[in-house]
């Protein structure tokens, strides 16, 4: 039986609870499809600060680099908010992305049929369903550019620099094209080329690359218009590819169309299929330990791990179908509605795992 080695970062807040349910579901999928997991625990974020004084221990980087992929729960919390920026939990998250070369962030925004009415967007706009993939550049742009403070005309000022080079743009856009090839063959590149020079280079580069993907229909859209169109007519989009800053904002907007942040998975990919998988919600320290957190975003992140890093698409699809089946009758408090049974974290994880018989 094939064994996959996974680095497991439970993290802070509700992280340990939702990761436990995810590994339960992954084990059930492995039993059904003929593989198993070797889990290698490591620290990141607030729990790492408490244990060893830094948000990203060298041991964690070593374990992650030696694994087939990485599963992450959640990072951060008010407990560590007063620490200097370089010692806060979020610094560990940025650090692990850089250390592992995770340049492509994939965020699917989809609506599971039982949750259609939970979307803030009218049914007439959503139609029969919605399935958008946002591809965000993750290791460049303004978040990693030069920054600082100075005085201008005797008053305090601050600056952050947006900079992209052609190879950075090429590799993220090729990721977008490759995904579009496997979906509906439509790629929309989002920029601000009417104002920003970095966006003009971005548009020039993706337009040139389009010649290598003649079967994919490429379009361009300014980021402000895209933000509006996601609400006005989200069905026009299949795959969106964009910069770090724009992707950060647009992926959150697109994701909320699904109705609950507790349903939203993500993948951060390096070259060669290696990736880090995590739900996009935070650590929710206010409900940690109460057994009421929604584990489905983490479980769906596990499904993405199977699909994009481990080459197990049948197992990934089986988990998605199991989630859809569980939602037909059961809901955690964040997505509960009349007619459904209210359950906790463990019960929801059990319900998904039980729909993956060996």
**Joined tokens for residue 308:** 């994009």
- Residue 238 DSSP symbol: S
Which candidate, 79, 5, 70, 21, places its Cα nearest to that of 43?
70
> Is-catalytic flag, 248?
yes
Structure tokens at 202: 């971005």
Cα-based distances in Å from 210 to 138, 206, 217 = 21, 6, 8
Is residue 224 flagged as an active site residue? Answer: yes
- The length of the chain is 358
Catalytic hit among 192, 213, 334, 350: 192
The token pair at 277 is 């998988």
Catalytic annotation, pick one of 38, 224, 286, 341: 224
**Listed residue (226, 257, 231) closest to 243, CA to CA:** 226
Strands, E, within 223-274: which ranges? 239-242, 265-269
What are the tokens at 284? 């929710």
Residue 272 structure tokens: 């060669």
CA 275, 4, 304 angle in degrees (round to 5)? 40
252 is known as an active-site residue = yes
DSSP 8-state assignment for residue 296: H
In the set 27, 68, 131, 252, the catalytic residue is 252
CA angle, 185 then 189 then 193, to 5°: 155
Please say if 192 is a catalytic residue: yes
Phi then psi for 9, rounded to 5 degrees? -110, 100
Q: Which of 191, 248, 334, 350 is catalytic?
A: 248
Of 39, 68, 143, 184, which is the active-site residue?
143
Q: Cα–Cα distance between 10 and 14 in angstroms, integer?
A: 9
**Which residue carries 């940690």 as its tokens?**
288
* Catalytic residue annotation: 143, 192, 224, 248, 252
């Amino acid at each position: 039986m094939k064994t996959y080695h996974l680095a497991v970062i439970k993290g802070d807040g509700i992280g340990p609870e939702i990761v436990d349910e995810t590994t339960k579901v992954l084990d059930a999928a492995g039993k059904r499809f003929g593989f198993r997991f070797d889990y290698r625990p490591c620290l990141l974020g607030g729990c790492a600060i408490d244990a060893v004084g830094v948000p990203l221990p060298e041991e964690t980087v070593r374990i992650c680099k030696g694994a087939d992929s990485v599963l992450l729960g959640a990072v951060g919390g008010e407990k560590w908010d007063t620490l200097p920026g370089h010692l806060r939990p979020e610094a560990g998250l940025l650090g692990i992305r850089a250390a592992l070369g995770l340049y492509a962030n994939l965020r699917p925004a989809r609506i599971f049929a039982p949750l259609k009415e939970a979307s803030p967007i009218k049914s007439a706009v959503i139609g029969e369903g919605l399935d958008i993939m946002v591809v965000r550049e993750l290791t460049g742009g303004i978040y990693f550019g030069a920054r600082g403070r100075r005085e201008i005309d005797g008053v305090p000022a601050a600056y952050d620099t947006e900079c992209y080079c052609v190879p950075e743009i090429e590799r993220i856009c090729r990721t977008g094209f490759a995904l579009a090839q496997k979906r509906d063959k439509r790629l929309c590149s989002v920029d601000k080329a009417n104002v920003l020079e970095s966006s003009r280079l971005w548009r020039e580069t993706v337009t040139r690359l389009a010649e290598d993907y003649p079967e994919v229909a490429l379009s361009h859209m300014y980021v402000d218009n895209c933000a509006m169109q996601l609400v006005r007519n989200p069905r026009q989009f299949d795959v969106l590819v964009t910069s770090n800053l724009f992707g950060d904002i647009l992926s959150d907007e697109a994701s909320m169309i699904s109705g609950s942040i507790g349903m939203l998975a993500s993948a951060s990919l390096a070259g060669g299929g290696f990736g880090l998988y995590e739900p996009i919600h935070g650590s929710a320290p206010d409900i940690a330990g109460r057994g009421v957190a929604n584990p489905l975003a983490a479980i769906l992140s596990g499904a993405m791990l199977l699909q994009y890093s481990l080459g197990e698409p049948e197992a990934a699809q089986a988990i998605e179908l199991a989630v859809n089946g569980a939602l037909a009758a059961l809901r955690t408090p964040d997505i509960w509605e009349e007619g459904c049974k209210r359950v906790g974290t463990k019960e929801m994880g059990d319900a998904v795992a039980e729909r993956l018989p060996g």
